[in-house]
Amino acid sequence: MESDQRHARIFGILFIITFLTSIPASFLFDSVLEDPAGYVAGGGNDNQIYLAVLLEFALILANVGTAVVLYPIARRQNKALAIGYVAARIIECVFIAAGIIFVLGIVSLSQDSPGAGDLALSLAALKDWTALFGPGLIVPFGNGLILGYLMYKSGLVPRPMTWFGLIGGPILLIGSLFTLVDGWAEGSALPGLLVAPEFIWEAFLGIYCTIWGFRRDSPILQASAR
């Protein structure tokens, strides 16, 4: 069981790392994504973007790590869903990696083709699409529904909190689909509010598992101990 608790704390730490990397990276990328043409024309800070890229690369490693560390334990509950969670994390990270390449393309344009503002706008739009399809459409299934269900059935964490994932995942998915079809009024705050349950769920997992590990009376941990 001590090995399981070690996995739990690594799982929690990796979830915390996803917050510590993704949120700062999002702010650092703003200078490119808000005015890509201006950035290419010479108004940007390349070192700031390189730092954001490194943070998102660390995010990729942490994302995949959460699934890999959890898999040996989650498969005791449902092997197919445990594999599904690993797959969802990998697919999410493919979109994140693609977004990194698009942003680096804008940086390259600023160095080699400062007049290519239209191309920079296209690359910034592609970066936005990767954020919508990865964190926006894949996360609701992976971190929301799959991980929420695994945690609910296994009892690895307090069951009442798993509803933030089981409900937050579909809510985030609906919000992302509305964004996909341009269904929000300009300036609407609702898309940000729809992220809240999923945000709470993931933050809870990071903090709870880092401090307390998995619940020792979880049926799958008890069965393993026996």
- Decide if pLDDT at 64 tops 80: yes
Q: What is the pLDDT of residue 1?
A: 65
Tell me which of 25 and 184 has the higher pLDDT.
25
User: Can you tell me the distance from the alpha carbon of 171 to that of 169, in angstroms, rounded to the nearest whole number?
Assistant: 5
Give the model confidence (pLDDT) of 6-28 as tens digits.
999 999 999 999 999 999 999 99
Whole-model pTM over 0.75: yes
Distance of CA 118 to the CA centre of its chain: 29
**What pLDDT is stored for residue 8 in this prediction?**
94
How confident is the model at residue 170, as a pLDDT? 94
Asked whether 203 and 12 are in contact (CB, 8 A), the reply is no
Mean pLDDT of 69-85: 96
Structural domain of 66: 2-225
How many separate domains does the chain show? 1
Q: How confident is the model at residue 116 (pLDDT cuts 50, 70, 90)?
A: confident
Dist CA 146 CA 98 (whole Å): 24
CB-based contact 8:156 (threshold 8 Å): yes
Share of the chain above pLDDT 90, in %: 73
Mean pLDDT over 27-53 rounds to: 88
Indicate whether 226 pLDDT > 70: no
